[in-house]
Chains A and B, each alone.
Chain A
Amino acid sequence: MMAAAYPAGYKYTKDHEWIEIAGDRGKIGITDYAQEQLGDVVYVELPEVGAKLKQGQSFGTIESVKAVSELYAPVTGEVVDVNSQLKNKPESVNSDPFGSWMIAIKLTNPGEGGSLLDAAQYQELLK
């Protein structure tokens, strides 16, 4: 499998989540590196719309054949949408990690995105 390119417009966390911020909204998923480490994803467990999350708080779990790991909120905010397609097609996290958003969040403090890593900094972290 070809490694997916790291979108320059996204922000990244040390826990290997990405967030695509537009105004006070952000879509959140996990990076190509994270899906590669997990291997074949079989379940993604996500919160309900309306859930309030703090930056760094667990918002769900992702489970592969090999392992289970927590998903952490890159920013503080309220869940406004959940990608229900991942219920039936969790493997899309493997095939298209940067297109497979998990939750959409309304940022409490849109400035919080500035504290996250950009694509170059994140890829530096992976070295």
Chain B
Amino acid sequence: MEQVIEAPLKKTPLNTRHRASGAKMVAFSGWDMPVEYAGGGVVREHMAVRTRAGLFDVSHMGELEIAGKDALAAVQRVSSNDASKLQVGQAQYSGLLTPEGTFVDDLLVYRIAQSHFLLVVNAGNIAGDYRWIADNIRDAGDAVAVDASSRYALLAIQGPAAQSVLQSLTGVDLSSIKYYWFAHGEVASIRAMISRTGYTGEDGFEIFVPPQSADRLWQALLEAGQSVDLIPCGLGARDTLRLEAAMRLYGNDIDDTTTALEADLGWIVGWKKEEFVGAASLRAQKSAGVARKLVGFEMLDRGIARHGYDAYIGNEKGGRVTSGTQTPFLKTAIGMAYVPIQHTAPGSEFDVDIRGRRARARVVTLPFYKRAK
């Protein structure tokens, strides 16, 4: 008999704080994480981010660094997007792909210095990503990869009021940091890297600090946010927010069975780059055309189509729902699904098997939610 020994859940530096505040905790990718907070709940937390500000502990995310004279060449080999376009202080969304063009992980690539990159990866993939990168950059010249995850705590403050709240704690001029750019400075007297990024579809910042300073920063942000009724937000709201913004979730919408083109993420592929892992397969798939594609849909019939539910074209099982929820802001049931390419045009309809009942869904243009600029 196979014996499965479960490792204890990992804890972020804010774990005690979350538990003390009565947050509902769940196991997520091997981490003990807050799914929603006492007095909050998914809907309230979601709305706080859309209308005011919310604070997230995302310290479970992994940080891998690639440095050395040939760091750019190493990053170019393992990351699908074109990192040569990054200036120092700039970040981009990208993928780590298999030779088949499917996802090992998705990530953000930060250019910290000319030959120093920070890769922010999914919590459940840290060890695998690190091994995969190390294997693939071995002969890329003078470049080394380091798993620096234990050196960072990561807090995200998101929402239309995020800038004003954060600005009250830092001398860094936040208005000068553009979307997907970052700066170094102090926040509440803690040395930090401040990045104008997020996973909510809203304006906001992600703040990298040393783990021992995480609790102090958390408290400072909560206090500074009181005037706008900022509240802490858990993984539940993070998921509904990112889905409204049509941001892919690794393990749901993308994984090692779905290619970047099928996931409709051709824009994170550096087509003009030299060889990178997955390039040949993706170029072949691009010229042949994909057989299926990830689309957004809204439910026409009552019900929520959830991850793993089958999609039917007529009587034929033709696809699979990858994410689905009732959105607190748009107040409709939405989701994403892989469907055959001939049924991907907005307005196309298909059925979802909701626990034995067929419910009609209609393809819509992504994202579901786009903030007013």
Contacts and interface: CB of A to CB of B under 8 A. Distances in A.
Contacts of A61: 355
B233 to A, nearest CB: 13
A50 to B, nearest CB: 20
Given A39-B36, A39-B236, A40-B328, A63 B42 contact: no
Given A65-B42, A65-B326, A42 B36 contact: no
Nearest to B39: A1
B328 A65 contact: yes
Contacts of A66: 35, 42, 236
B314 to A, nearest CB: 25
Nearest to B327: A65
A1 B42 CA distance: 14
Contacts of B36: 39
B302 interface: yes
A68 interface: yes
A65 B238 CA distance: 12
A52 to B, nearest CB: 20
Contact of B240 (A43, A45, A65): A65
A81 to B, nearest CB: 21
Given A1-B39, A39-B41, 8 more contacts: A40-B41, A43-B302, A61-B355, A65-B43, A65-B240, A65-B325, A68-B304, A68-B355
A43 to B, nearest CB: 7
23 contacts: A1-B39, A39-B36, A39-B42, A40-B42, A40-B328, A42-B304, A42-B333, A43-B302, A43-B304, A43-B326, A63-B304, A63-B326, A65-B42, A65-B236, A65-B240, A65-B325, A65-B326, A65-B328, A66-B35, A66-B42, A66-B236, A68-B304, A68-B355
Interface in B21-57: 35-36, 39, 41-43
B231 to A, nearest CB: 14
Interface residues of B, number: 17
Contacts of B41: 39-40
Pairs A-B, 8 closest by C-beta atoms: A42-B326, A40-B43, A65-B42, A40-B42, A65-B326, A39-B41, A40-B41, A39-B42
Given A40-B42, A61-B355, A68 B306 contact: yes
Nearest to B354: A68
Interface in A48-69: 61, 63, 65-66, 68
A43 B42 contact: no
Interface string A101-117: 00000000000000000
Contacts of B326: 42-43, 63, 65
Contacts of A39: 36, 41-42, 236
Nearest to A66: B236
Contacts of A63: 303-304, 326
